[in-house]
Chain A
Amino acid sequence: MPTNTILIAEDDPLIRKTTSHYLKANGYVVLEASDGREALHLFRENGPDLILTDLRMPELDGMQLVEMVVKENPQIPVIIFSGMGTMVDVIEALRIGAWDYLIKPISDLKILLHSITRALSHAGLLEQEKDRKIYLEQEIEKRTGELLRQYAQLEQEMENRKVQEALVIKAKREWERTIDAMPDMITIVDKDHRIVRANKTMIDKLETTYGEFLGTKCHYCAHSLDGPPNYCPHSLLLEDGKEHSVEVFEERLGGHCEIIVVPYSDADGILIGSVHIVRDINERKKVEREKDELNLQLLHAQKLEAVGQLASGIAHEINTPTQFVGSNIDFLGDAFEDIATMVSTVQDAVENVEEIAVRKKIEESIEEADWAYLLEEIPHAISQSKEGVTRVTSIVGAMKEFSHPGKKEKEPVQLSRIVETTVTVARNEWKYVADLETDFDTDMPPVHCLVDEMGQVILNILVNAAHAIEERLGDNPEGRKGAIHIRVRHVGSIAEIRISDNGGGIPEELKSRVFDPFFTTKEVGKGTGQGLAIARAVVVEKHDGTIEFESEPGEGSTFIIQLPLLEEETF
């Protein structure tokens, strides 16, 4: 154990020396001071482990010394030496920091030693305590520091996490807004055909809310069906896990739409449903339909042109034999006149012939040839043949006029002429089923129109009329006929063609579709369903006219075409 140093402050040399001696003998290092000032000095110089001080000393008394020493080192054990009768001072010294006191004179120095040992031991404990406390404090500080660091780290992490979360939420909202902003209807449907999510476009289109919509069956809310329709692309997808698409017409989804379904899997790649993308294709359908119609008209025009060229060629071919048949009939007519004159001359002359045999022979020969009949009938045969040639000529002429790939510009024409030409050309279509009557306005001003196309319009309606009558007549061995009546007139500044038939009429439920392209009630091969669609296109779009019909089922139909007359003709 290290040697402890004890400072003795005692103005009485005898006591000081004895005590010092004793303590030295007990192994302590002793510092001696004869007054308080010296003691203070030694304390400051040497840092003793214990101070033993008298209270009454010169210069600086014990009380003051205690006060100062304790102030400078609160841990230092201070023991007071005190004579009897100074107990009040002793109590004061203990109060200000002394540890123990001894009464002078000290009868047994062992008591002193004991007190010193106890104080030192106590001081040692205190010192240890202090070290421990310091250690603990350091430890606490260290731990606190660590905790603080960890806390800061946590805080940082939380901060980061918050930022991350905010980013995630932001991204999610952005994504939702993006999906909502898409013009296509988008929805996620699970394997049970239930709506899991949907974008705003879809919610708005179906005039529903998220609350009502989510969880309902797709086929129910989109198609009002209890089960998936047979074309359901989602069912197909659930079977093969592949993308499918289908075009449907669904009023609730806004008309024509294309439904594309794309497989939708969870994070592990297991198919859990599909994403439906429902696209409005009304515009595309419209364009397609217009394109179809345009193609149809183009095709039709090309066909007409080809037929026209063919007909024009055929007309030429027919004209050549017609020419020589006509010439020959003409010749036969002339020749017969000459022969008739000659025979008449012979008959006259024969009466004066004397010789009976000759006369009889000539008369018999004339009789044998049935000359009276020939004289009567041959001119009829010739004039009727001529009429036939004339008719062939007019038919061929009408055919040429009708089918000639004619002008592409409007010209002023008499509607009655177009009607007549068309009626002639289409004779074969109507003459077996109907009698046809025309009724033309005699002071009809010309109409500005595309001759070929207007002829086509009249032909289409005329052929329909004939078909309607034919259908109504049905099996007709007695050869009954219906009636077609075509009337051309003008009312004010409007030219009107009315084509009436007494066929079966148009059933009420089909009336709205009569002018639709490809709509036909005729059997395959008899009609393409383009006739009236083309008629309407020609009349309405190319001539600013109108085409309507009146029809009484079982009574017949009347188609009415109205066209504007030439401006200057209306005055």
Chain B
Amino acid sequence: MRKKRILFVDDEPNILSGLKRMLRSMRKEFDLQFAGSGIEALDSMAVHESDIVVSDMRMPGMDGAELLDIIQERYPSAVRIMFTGQADQESVLRTVGVVHQFLTKPCDSDLLRSVLLRAGTLHRFVSDTSICGKSCGGSP
């Protein structure tokens, strides 16, 4: 089984580097990508599509909800996770239906790892056209 490719999107570089370091121990399971904004994330997806997208909610310019909305449209098989420090009702409502999972900052490393492993499994099912049908299958 090939490594799952995960894209983290956050406007705070320290968060990204922290995650990068924290998940170093899973470098065999995951191939990690990082983007500092929604636009960067979409560029990254265009070059090489990630299997899982983990995005912050509040970012300058395009926010997390908008980004995941676009990703759902363009790359329906990507598993979408909202990783936010602000679990208020508004963001929940705006992203319900777009997001597979919510994670709140600060997030315990064990929890994050297990969520990512489950997301990897989920992605396997979602991208398996024999289960999901052609309509929801992504491009390879």
A and B physically associate = yes
Contact partner, A327, options B19, B58, B85, Cβ 8 Å: B19
- A133 located at the interface, meaning its Cβ lies under 8 Å from any Cβ of chain B in the complex: no
List, in ascending order, chain B residues with CB within 8 A of A48's CB.
none
Given contacts A319-B105, A320-B85, A322-B106, contact A327 B24 (CB under 8 A): no
Within 8 A of A (CB), among B2-36: 12, 14-15, 17-19, 21-22, 24-25
Instruction: Give the docked Cα–Cα distance between A312 and B88 (Å).
Output: 9
Which B residues touch A324, using CB under 8 A?
12, 14-15, 17-19
| Residue A68 CB within 8 A of the other chain | no
Q: Does B107 contact A (CB under 8 A)?
A: yes
Most chain-A Cβ atoms within 10 A of its Cβ — which of B15, B22, B104, B106?
B106
Query: Which residues of A (355-414) have their CB < 8 Å from a CB of B?
Result: 389, 392-393
| Given A326-B18, A328-B18, A334-B24, also A320-B88 (CB < 8 A) | no
- Residue A432 interfacial (CB < 8 Å): no
Interface centre among A312, A321, A335 (most CB of B within 10 A): A321
Chain B residue numbers with a CB within 8 Å of A389 are 106
Question: CA of A334 to CA of B26 in the docked complex: distance in angstroms?
Answer: 11
Q: Determine whether A330 belongs to the interface, using a CB cutoff of 8 Å to chain B.
A: yes
Question: Which residue of chain B lies nearest to A334 when distances are taken between CB atoms in the complex?
Answer: B25
Residue from B19, B21, B24, B108 having most chain A Cβ neighbours under 10 A: B21
- The answer to whether B18 touches A319 (Cβ under 8 A) is no
Chain A hits for B85, CB < 8 A? 315-317, 319-320, 323
* B86 contacts chain A at the CB level, 8 A cutoff: yes
Note all chain B residues with C-beta closer than 8 A to A334: 22, 24-25
- Total A-B contacts with CB atoms under 8 angstroms apart: 64
Query: Secondary structure at chain A's binding surface: helix, strand, loop or mixed?
Result: helix
Contact B12 A327 (CB under 8 A): no
Q: Which residues of B contact A316 (CB under 8 A)?
A: 58, 85-86
Whether, in the assembled complex, B129 has its beta carbon less than 8 Å from a beta carbon of chain A, the answer is: no
User: Across the interface, do B21 and A331 meet the contact criterion of CB distance under 8 Å?
Assistant: yes
Bound Cα distance A322, B86 (Å): 13
| CB pair A326 B109 closer than 8 Å | yes
Instruction: Chain A residues near B19: list those with CB within 8 A.
Output: 324, 327
A331: nearest residue on chain B (CB-CB)? B21
Contacts of A335 in B (CB 8 A): 21, 24
Chain A residues closer than 8 Å to B22, beta-carbon distance: 326-328, 330-331, 334
What residues of A have a CB within 8 angstroms of the CB of B21 in the complex? 327-328, 330-332, 335
Count of B interface residues, CB-CB < 8 Å: 20
Interface centre among A330, A335, A393 (most CB of B within 10 A): A330
Rounded to whole angstroms, the CA-CA distance of A317 and B15 in the bound complex is 13
Bound-complex Cα distance A12 to B81 (A): 181
Contacts of B58 in A (CB 8 A): 316
Question: In the complex, A331→B15 CA distance in Å?
Answer: 12
Known contacts: A326-B109, A393-B106. The answer to whether A320 contacts B25 by CB under 8 A is: no
Q: How far is the CA of A330 from the CA of B17 in the complex (A)?
A: 12
A330 touches B109 (CB 8 A): yes
Distance, CA A327 to CA B105, complexed state (A): 11
A330 contacts across to B, CB distance below 8 A: 21-22, 109
Q: Are B88 and A327 in contact (CB under 8 A)?
A: no
Which of B14, B24, B109 contacts A321, CB < 8 Å? B14
The answer to whether B18 and A323 touch across the interface, beta carbons within 8 angstroms, is yes
Residue of A nearest to B104 (CB): A319
Complex: chain A residue closest to B57, CB-CB: A316
Is there an interface contact between B15 and A320, defined as CB atoms closer than 8 Å? yes
A351 CA to B89 CA, complexed, in Å: 62
Residues of B within 8 A of A332 (CB): 21
Q: Known: A312-B88, A316-B86. Contact between A323 and B15, CB under 8 A?
A: yes
Give B10 Cβ to nearest chain A Cβ, in Å: 9
Give me 4 other A-B pairs in contact (C-beta within 8 A), A330-B21, A393-B106 excluded. Answer: A320-B12, A323-B85, A327-B18, A389-B106
User: What 3 pairs between A and B have smallest CB-CB spacing?
Assistant: A327-B18, A331-B21, A324-B18
Jot down 27 A-B pairs with beta carbons below 8 A, ordered by A.
Answer: A312-B88, A316-B58, A316-B85, A319-B85, A319-B86, A319-B104, A320-B12, A322-B105, A323-B15, A323-B18, A323-B105, A323-B107, A324-B12, A324-B15, A324-B19, A325-B18, A325-B106, A326-B107, A327-B15, A330-B109, A331-B18, A331-B22, A331-B24, A334-B22, A334-B25, A335-B24, A392-B106
